[in-house]
Amino acid sequence: MQKQAIFQSRLLPYALVAPQLAIVLIFFYWPALQAVIQSFLLQDAFGLSTTFVWFENYIELFKDVAYFEAIVRTFFFSFAIAVSSLSFALLLAVMADKPLRGSMLYRTLLIWPYAVAPPVVGVLWIFMLHPSLGVLSRYLRNMGIDWNPLLDGDQAAALIILAAAWKQISYNFLFFLAGLQAIPKSVFEAAAIDGARPMRRFWTVTFPLLSPTIFFLLVVNIVYAFFDTFGIIDTMTRGGPGTSTVTLVYKVYSDGLLGGNLGSSAAQSVILMVMVIVLTGIQFRFVERKVTY
Amino acid sequence: MANVTLRNVRKTYPGGFEAIKGVNVDVGDGQFCVLVGPSGCGKSTLLRMVAGLETVTGGEIDIGGRIVNQIEPADRDIAMVFQNYALYPHMSVFNNMAYGLRNRGMKEAEVKSRVDEAARVLELTSMLERKPRQLSGGQRQRVAMGRAIVRQPKVFLFDEPLSNLDAKLRIAMRVEIRKLQRRLNTTSIYVTHDQLEAMTLADVLVVMNGGQVEQVGNPLAIYEKPATTFVASFIGAPPMNLMSIRADEIKSQLGSTNAGILGIRPEDFVITDQTPAGGVTLPLTVEAIERVGAETFVYGTRAQDEQRIAANPGELPPGEVIVRIPGSEAPPIGEKIRVAATRQKLHLFSGDGRTRIEA
């Protein structure tokens, strides 16, 4: 089969890709370049003078304990969000995969939360768990838990993780369900005849066969937890109390737009950009290999 | 070792579709039973019910004197070979075969000796460390067989195990399966839509159609005395010629009064002008010739043909008759010939095709 298109004119193919290239260049490469340039600059407090300072912004960052804390916090959040969201989604997918009545309906319902924008997710959960307004807060306090995420940093972190993981469950569920359905039913039947009880069947057959999907989702979830949780954090805690829910992305925003330290903010952006490149590289490297088991 | 007995087994799906409409089959200890029938006749469903992969909505399934209707597949002491082999893709050949043994808590030394023995029998010894994706279709099929035999179950169940193989390999594996079953002497139930596979493998042949058993018996007995027109046209290739007959013909030639359909196998015709005593002759116009070397198929149209029976699957189009003659000599296309069959070679059925009439 001929896969290569043949053009009569040499200019036509360039003309055809030009709009796409223009979008990529204007909206991705140009801002990225701006960030890199900005990260080498230092501006005075009033924005009157700008100095080229080479790597000083970066050096300052790595000397800063708060930045180090944000890195650790971000990794912890990512890990917690990915693990909780993946395991819950897998549980739901395994249950939804069974041929039950109305399966289309609840499969559809399980996918809906993905359509909710992150800030809305934040608002939704804060309504349920706000210390004085929240519906669930009362029950928590009745159970003897001193629930106040506005004052308690750990509780605030838990709240962020909960909301962020909840939002991502739908997405993971979709992929897990598709992954499960790609495994021939007869493999499970063979395992059932081979004397494997449901739990053993899950750990020895289902889980290994889903491992490519799990790995793919792990990377996607980490990227999500790194970047897309901004809206949730901003509506729920604004990084507080103190800095207990400030992640790397939120710090870019708060240092740059709230703190006015544009150079440092840009340097942080560049570091994040490098992280994304690394994560995507890992993903392509391993996921593109079709079969990993 | 065990008998398998199906007593009035039924399967009705929640939507109300009746897939199995009361099946009675008795498979003796060590026998090879083949379920054969066209697509959708319920043969695979029936096998899956024996395996415990489908629920039974009526009747009883008895394996070795134990009613297994409510028993989990794992506890029925059966092994199954699937059409797509259903190998565990992430496990080596060795682990594929060992899985069922380890699940049952067998000692690792015993697992190894059993798997090694099965691998030796199936000539898989050099492939034990490979993954299924590194094997050819025939090798995967043998691994699936190995997974079944290491367990030493009471019953083997085969769900069209050869249909994914090419024609040559299919014949070779067919012989292998038969030899293996003879040696292990394990009761087996085998599902296929291929009547040749069914004829060659079966001790007991069960011909199914529309969720019901049409005929049970020895394959040759079924070939020689098909109970219904469905069986007559399904078993044997090319299919039996079936034609409706008029009352006066029946009286004068066959001496039977209530037969409505006459069946003659293509190989039972001879090209001749003479009518054998008590037999029949048909005037034909030759329409097409197929030479396959050792034999030749002559496709002809009956000259005087007014009425036909209702069409069954596998039956010839109205008016067409297939004649199978040895060698490659054949009359030219367009020639008018007469073919004859003796009285002993005629099969008579009632007008609805549901009953065989012995005259």
Query: Which pLDDT tens digit goes with each residue over B253-279?
Result: 565 556 678 888 999 988 887 777 767
Please spell the DSSP secondary structure of A34-87, one letter per residue: HHHHHHTEEE-TTS--EEE-TTHHHHHHHH-HHHHHHHHHHHHHHHHHHHHHHH
Select from B268, B327, B275 the least CA-distant residue to B296.
B327
Instruction: Give the closest-approach CA distance of A211 to chain B in angstroms.
Output: 10
Pick from B126, B128, B167: nearest CA to B147:
B128
For A164-209, the pLDDT digits (tens) are 898 888 899 989 988 998 888 899 999 999 988 888 989 999 999 9
Question: What six digits make up the tokens of B317?
Answer: 């189009």
What whole-number distance in Å separates Cα of residue B205 and Cα of residue B191?
10
Tell me the pTM: 0.78
- pLDDT at A90 (0 to 100): 92
Q: How large is the average pLDDT for residues B119-145?
A: 90
Nearest neighbour of B99 by CB, restricted to A184, A194, A293: A194
Of B122-136, B205-219, B326-340, minimum mean pLDDT range:
B326-340
According to DSSP, residue B255 is labeled -
> Which residues of chain B have a CB within 8 Å of the CB of A205?
88
- Comparing CB atoms, the residue among A184, A194, A291 nearest residue B103 is A194
3-state secondary structure of A280: helix
Assigned CATH class of B230-357: mainly beta
> Is residue A178 situated within a structural domain?
yes
Considering chain B, tell me which residue range(s) the CATH 2.40.50.140 domain(s) occupy. 230-357
First to last CA, chain A: 31
Judging contacts by C-beta atoms under 8 Å, the chain A residues touching residue B73 are: 189, 192-193
Question: Does position B249 have pLDDT exceeding 70, yes or no?
Answer: no
The CB density around residue B346, as the number of other CB atoms within 10 Å, is 20
* Minimal Cβ distance to B86: which of A186, A204, A211: A186
Check if the beta carbon of residue B75 is closer than 8 Å to that of residue B29.
Answer: no
Give CATH for domain B4-229: 3.40.50.300
Taking only the tens place, the pLDDT of each residue in B55-86 is 999 889 999 889 999 999 989 999 999 999 99
Q: Which residues of A touch B80 (CB under 8 A)?
A: 189-190, 193
- CA closest to A292 among chain B residues: B90
Question: What's the first-to-final CA gap in chain B, in angstroms?
Answer: 42
Q: Please tell me the distance in Å from A68's CA to the nearest CA on chain B.
A: 41
Domain count along chain A: 1
pLDDT for A140 equals 80
In a domain, residue A53? The reply is: no
Residue A21, in any domain of the structure: no
Measure Cα distances from B298 to B27, B268, B288, B308 in Å.
Answer: 39, 13, 6, 20
Q: Which of B86, B90, B103 sits opposite A209 (nearest CB)?
A: B90
In a domain, A37, yes or no: no
Query: Does B239 sit behind a cis peptide bond, omega within 30 degrees of 0 on the bond before it?
Result: no
Question: Containing H/E element for A125?
Answer: helix A118-129
List the CATH number of the domain containing A230: 1.10.3720.10
What is the C-alpha separation between B339 and B320, in angstroms, rounded? 13
Q: What is the distance between the alpha carbons of residues A220 and A227, in angstroms, rounded to a whole number? A: 11
Please indicate, yes or no, if residue A56 is contained in any of the structural domains.
no
Confidence tier at B312 by pLDDT (50, 70, 90): very low
A194 contact residues in B (CB cutoff 8 A): 74, 99-100, 103, 147, 151
Enter the ipTM.
0.82
Chain A residues touching B79 at Cβ < 8 A: 193
pLDDT tens string for chain A (293 positions)?
556 677 778 888 888 899 999 999 999 889 888 888 888 877 776 767 777 777 777 887 888 888 888 889 899 999 999 999 999 999 988 888 877 677 778 778 888 888 888 888 888 888 888 877 777 888 888 887 777 777 777 888 888 888 889 888 889 998 998 899 888 889 999 999 998 888 898 999 999 999 888 888 888 898 888 888 888 888 888 877 877 888 888 888 888 777 777 788 888 888 888 888 888 888 777 766 554 44
Residue A250 belongs to what domain range? 65-258+265-287
A293/B53 touch (CB, cutoff 8 Å), yes or no:
no
CB A85 within 8 A of CB A165: yes
Rounded Cα distance, B346 and B254, in Å:
9
> In terms of residues, how long is chain A?
293
Pairing of strands B187-192, B155-159: parallel
Question: Three-class SS of residue B81?
Answer: strand
Cβ–Cβ below 8 Å for B84 and A190: no
Sign for the pseudo-dihedral over CA of A22, A23, A28, A33:
positive
Out of B88, B103, B147, name the one closest to residue A200 (CB): B103
User: Which one-letter DSSP state was computed for residue B309?
Assistant: P
Q: What is the DSSP string of B183-217?
A: HHT-EEEEEES-HHHHHHH-SEEEEEETTEEEEEE
Q: Please, what sign has the CA dihedral across residues A36, A39, A45, A49?
A: negative
Provide, as residue numbers in chain B, all residues whose Cβ is less than 8 Å from the Cβ of A189: 51, 53, 73, 80, 82, 86
Outline which parts of chain B fall under CATH 3.40.50.300: 4-229
Q: How many residues belong to chain B?
A: 359
Residues 6+ apart with CB under 8 A from B278: B253, B254, B255, B342, B343
Q: Does A208 touch chain B (CB under 8 A)?
A: yes
Our measurement of the distance from residue B237's CA atom to the centroid of its chain's CA atoms, rounded to an integer in Å, reads 12
- What is the per-residue pLDDT for B247? 53
Residues of A in contact with B150 (CB under 8 A): none
Query: Is A152 part of a structural domain of the chain?
Result: yes
Q: State the smallest CA–CA distance between residue A175 and chain B in angstroms.
A: 20
